[in-house]
Amino acid sequence: MGNPLKQLAGETAIYGLSTILARIINFLFVPIYTRCLTTESYGVVTEFMAYIAVLQVILVLGLETGCFRFANREGVSTKAVYSNALATVTGVSMAFLALMIAFAGPIASGLGYRGYDNCIMYVGGILALDSITAILFAKLRQEHKAFRFAIFKTIKIITETTVNILLFFPFAGFCSGKAAALGIRAAELASSDIWLLHFVSPVPDFSYVIFAIFVSCVVCGLLFLPSLLRFSFEFDGRLLKQMLIYSLPLMVAALPGIINDFLDRILFRFFDTGSEAWRSSLGIYQAAVKLSVIMSLFIQMFRFAAEPFFFQRAGDKGSKELYARVMEYFTAFCALAFLGVMLYIDIISLILGRDFREGIGIVPVMLISYMFLGMLFNVSMWYKLSGKTGMAIYITLAGLAVTMAVNIVFMPKYSYWASAYAHLSSYAVMFVISAVLGQKYYPVPYRWGRLAAIFAVMLGIYGISAAADRLLFGNVAIGTSSAGPLIAEFAVHTALIAVYLVLAYLIVRKKPGERNGNAGSDGRERLSRIPAE
């Protein structure tokens, strides 16, 4: 199959095509949202997305990873694996959707969104369809059909984008014109005036965003319909039981990870410093977090390709040494992403509306947090590969405890700053615990000296850039009358990134026999047998 690292990199790039497109579009929609929506309405969108993210983990039941585990076992039918997973997730998701439809009114009222019952139903539809298609996308990843995966994801993204644009611009304008012709306010229009008002509000609000996502999920489900019609189902009750025993602990373990990303959005309702304006604070926080999209984007791309890659290479000679090398390249690239954002933050921040830029200070904290999250994914593969998935629960519960403690104690005083540091603290704690346990149960010869050196270089370059800005360029800012100092500042930053690339290359590409980290002589000897790129 050629060089395994090149295969992993190639599939990461392909999966990343659709992921990059989705994140870029979401990123570019931030200025639209912050101009067409109030800060409170954008905060509501953020709250709903938090519920969706957490609930989807529950509805998939951990079977996405479970499919990779059992589909690579000898004597196990891949068809039976995916049949079991698809039937189980579909049954659970449809039952959940029925409950959401039945109780849409009480749920909307309980959240303080009376009259938006339709949005609760959309959320139920989004969760059901996304959970079912998660298994179908996993099957594409298992079969290395990265291009089809990317195409389907891209169509879903384009659909969501198109519906958003149509709602925020032509539809909102049409409603405004219709209301003017009737001599009423747009908000007073009824569904009898315009049929689409059965589904969304006549004025731009959070229902536009939720409805657009729902429509894209429906389209994505239809894309898989031909494959489902051709698929011959093969059920195996005994296999399903084994899959659930393996996968359910992963689902439980995944919850704290998702909660680390989204619990703070939920807690704003209860603990934010400005209790009456918590939605506004949440909107500002979410806009600032968007600036760390590059780091989280790469982690998601990497995960799509790396999870099946790790399982399929588990039985290969030198697989653990290969995993160690993957960690080094991954960490080096994350450090580059950190510097790429922070050294050009003056330009990148212009994507946000002016009223949302007060939260920019949390960006470096969030970038390092996501960096730890990606490294955690690497070191946590030990319990997936060794079958000790139950250990994941204890690791992630420790992280959840940190997340909740930091947010609950500090959010009333520090608002979204507490949320940012809660992310960092939680991921760091889980990373340390998982790394220590991994060396006991499934030792991988990570060279911690190299990883520490990459961190040191990254922070050193960032510190030098900050010092240079103060000493050489003072308070240069975008929009000043003279572009000369600004160009000089960016030139210095670009040169510093070039320095980082050289130093990172020297660290990562050291010869296996050189002394570094904690791999040990045996680890270095085994590493030397990995094919050179």
Distance of CA 18 to the CA centre of its chain: 13
Q: Give me the chain's average pLDDT, please.
A: 83
Ranking 314-318, 377-381, 505-509 by mean pLDDT, the lowest is 314-318
| pLDDT over 80 (residue 14) | no
The residues, any chain, with a CB within 8 Å of residue 159's CB and separated by 6 or more, are 215, 216, 219, 220
CA distance 203 to 199: 12
Query: Are 135 and 64 in contact, with CB atoms under 8 Å apart?
Result: yes
| pLDDT over 90 (residue 454) | yes
pLDDT tier, 68 (very low <50, low <70, confident <90, very high otherwise): confident
What is the predicted pLDDT for the residue at 496?
94
Ranking 6-10, 81-85, 242-246 by mean pLDDT, the lowest is 6-10
| pLDDT over 70 (residue 517) | no
pTM confidence score: 0.72
pLDDT tier, 32 (very low <50, low <70, confident <90, very high otherwise): confident
Query: Are 517 and 328 in contact, with CB atoms under 8 Å apart?
Result: no
Cα 310 to Cα 35, 161, 337, distances in angstroms:
44, 34, 24
What is the predicted pLDDT for the residue at 531?
37
| pLDDT over 80 (residue 419) | yes
Short-list 307, 313, 322, CA closest to 531? 322
Q: What torsion, rounded to 10 degrees, do the Cα atoms 234, 235, 239, 240 define?
A: 130
Q: Is the dihedral of CA 406, 409, 415, 417 positive or negative?
A: negative
Short-list 207, 82, 170, 175, CA closest to 134? 82
Residue range 423-448: average pLDDT?
A: 90
What is the predicted pLDDT for the residue at 379?
87
Residue range 387-407: average pLDDT?
A: 84
Amino acid (one-letter) located at 132: I
The phi, psi pair for 305, rounded to 5°, reads -85, -35
Side-chain half-sphere exposure of 139, counting CA atoms within 13 A: 18
What is the predicted pLDDT for the residue at 13?
65
